Structure 1
Amino acid sequence: MEKSMPWFILKNLIRMAVLLLLVSAAAFFLVSASPLDPLKTNVGQTALGSMSQEQIAKLEEYWGMNTPPMERFVSWAKDFFRGDMGTSLLYRQPVSHVISVKLKDSLWLMGTAWLISGAAGLLLGVVAGANRGKTVDKVITGYALVTASTPAFWLALVLLMIFAVWLKVLPIGLSVPIGVEAAGVTVTDRIAHGILPALTLSITGLSNIILHTREKMAEAMESDYVLFAKARGESEGQIILRHGLRNIILPAMTLQFASISEIFGGSVLVEQVFSYPGIGQAAVTAGLGGDVPLLLGITVISAAIVFAGNFTANVLYGVVDPRIRRRAKA
């Protein structure tokens, strides 16, 4: 049985490599087909009008406008496989350096939101499922349905208006105070600036976990073995801990790791609203500015992180449930 695990992992790694290739190719050709002119976007129409043809030609060469898209993509792919992600056209720095700086700010933000939404979603889902049809279940389910249909950027604007503009208890944006040198930024400053973005991502990431956990918990509470446990005189708390959680922990774990993609997608909009200098804002800047090397680097890294979440869930599920490994081997 254990011999199938290496093949299970290898198969997922091959899928990951194919996925990254397809995602990077799709991102590249979508940017290439964009109607935005990199020169007009980054230099400006007025500045272009005052330049000579030689200067414009140099800019076109710098932005790769005269090179066929397929040739540019193949060249980028060869460099990427050699470990060179290229140079950002906007930041004029290696793409790997730009991503490492931006990702550092985003990871703790998204990681915090991921942990909070997972823990709170599991707890609320268990409570709702164990009390199906009761008032507490209706309140929690209603909350989940409302947040599921609430756009992340709208919720971010509401929280920004309430806590930063009206109450003035939290910063209005950015990841550090304005005008403070890097050496003078404290951990408290970073936490204060990350509360609203993390809270927004946590709230929007709760709904799916709550609803899914609720259904699984309700099914467990209505099963024959729970009825038998009640007949033996076990309390409701004992039944939830011994029988309910044991049957929902695997689906909840899978959903938690799969929710990484939602956290990543939501961070793009949230970082824009709060002007948070993370990987999401860098992706928007690269896309609007025609910075293809940076956008492709962010796309590949983001897809790898999202796939790693799903991959981890599959591996853990396969370790616990041998049937998953047998299906993968087949």
Structure 2
Amino acid sequence: MLRFLLKQIIRMAVLLFLVSAAAFFLVSVSPIDPLKVNVGQVALGSMSQEQIAKLSEYWGTNLPPAERFLSWAGDFLKGDMGTSLLYRQPVSHVIGMKLSNSLWLMAVSWLVSGGIGFALGTLAGANKGKAVDKVISAYALITASTPAFWLALVFLMVFAVWLKMLPIGLSVPIGMEAAEVTLKDRVVHGILPCLTLSITGMSNILLHTRGKMIQVMESDYVLFARARGESKSRIVFRHGIRNILLPALTLQLASVSEIFGGSVLVEQVFSYPGLGQAAVTAGLGGDIPLLLGITVISAAIVFTGNFIANVLYGVVDPRMRKGRKVA
């Protein structure tokens, strides 16, 4: 087991390095010039070549990409993510502030989508071919093919513009000081983003749970349980849920990437000041240190979910630790 854990940790570290290197390369070949974006075309045009050279040296844009990447990676391992060119603050501080807004939003959406998706999948699988199964399956297929940003726009238009039941965006009321913001204000402003992420994020767990439940209900031991006179509800809870809970949990842990990816678009639609919106702002503004920091941190969050899922599989099924094929 220790060897299996070490192998998973090394794998996650290698993936993080590859993701950071790929992100750095893509940023390097981007047509966006950090100097023009942050200084301005007019201001940059009025500077002398010596001033531009000093500015490039200060920001490190005059160095070869490989040298810049190694320098950035070395500082990152020491805990120094650099300074954001847009916020004029340490990248670690900006990410910590933005992540605190996004984390509870993604956590709530992840729990709601997983819980409701598992319950609906269990209900559909236990009633294969019936009306409830057809309705739930149709709902899952529709939401699976619905873009998160489109659904966010629909919710924004219906609940915020037409019905005026919920705020139109942001994470707190406009013009209110931070000390005056209550938990209720944050919850109200987070309802629509959470609702959007929860609806679009439950399709996979729902359809997967439905398929596993159908396999369980058609198994020989369930047929024997029915022959003994056990009720359907007892069979579902005693045999069904016990057998499908762990696969559903591991799939839910692996779905962190979908929730995180969806939050980027949803936060942009609702002007929610989270990590996703900061990533878009950093990309459009040429803020390379912030963009790279967000990329590595978000990849670490996703890989951590996959790591926990792999460990759970390895604990339950020793064949996974030994690299054998599962029949």
Q: Is 1:241 equivalent to 2:240 in the alignment?
A: no
CA distance in 1, matches of 2:25, 2:111: 35
Are 1:114 and 2:110 counterparts? yes
- 1:72 pairs with 2:49: no
- 1:3-42 equivalences in 2 (<5 Å): 5-42=1-38
- Pick one of 183, 192, 196 that aligns with 2:192: 196
Question: What letter is aligned with 1:160?
Answer: L
Deviations along 1:151-180, one digit per CA (max 9) or x if unpaired, are 111010000001111111111111111111
Deviation at 1:84?
1.4
Structure 1 position 55, deviation (Å) = 4.0
Answer whether contact 1:86 1:94 (CA < 8 A) is retained: yes
The 1-side partners of 2:36 and 2:143 are apart by 39
Structure 1 residues 114-149: Cα deviation after superposition (integer angstroms, max 9, x where no partner): 000000000010011111111111111111111111
AA at the equivalent of 2:198 = S
Aligned pairs for 1:238-277 within 5 A: 238-277=234-273
1-side partners of 2:59 and 2:153: how far apart? 35
Match of 1:282 in 2: 278
Cα pair 1:38 1:63 within 8 Å, conserved: no
Deviations 1:177-200 (A, max 9, x none): 111111000000000111111111
Aligned residues: 324
CA–CA distance in 2 between the matches of 1:317 and 1:86? Answer: 38
Q: How does 1:95-244 map to 2 (within 5 A)?
A: 95-244=91-240
The one-letter code of the counterpart of 1:166 is: W
Q: 2:59 and 2:161 mapped to 1: Cα distance?
A: 40
Task: Give 2:82's aligned residue.
Answer: 86
Q: List runs of 5+ in structure 2 lacking aligned partners.
A: none
- Over the aligned positions, Cα root-mean-square deviation in angstroms equals 1.4
Deviation string 1:24-63 (CA, Å, 9 cap, x unpaired) is: 0000110111111223333333343444444433443344
Contact 2:222 2:235 in 1 (8 A): yes
C-alpha contact (below 8 Å) 2:38/2:85 kept by paired residues: no
What SS class does the counterpart of residue 79 from structure 1 fall into?
helix
Give distance in 2, aligned partners of 1:156 and 1:92: 31
Q: Which of 300, 303, 307 is the aligned partner of 1:307?
A: 303
C-alpha separation in 1, matches of 2:55 and 2:273: 27
Alignment partner of 1:298 is 2:294: yes
CA–CA distance in structure 1, aligned partners of residues 95 and 116 of structure 2: 30
**Unaligned 5+ runs, structure 1:** none
2: CA distance between counterparts of 1:162 and 1:222? 43
The normalised TM-score by structure 1 is 0.95
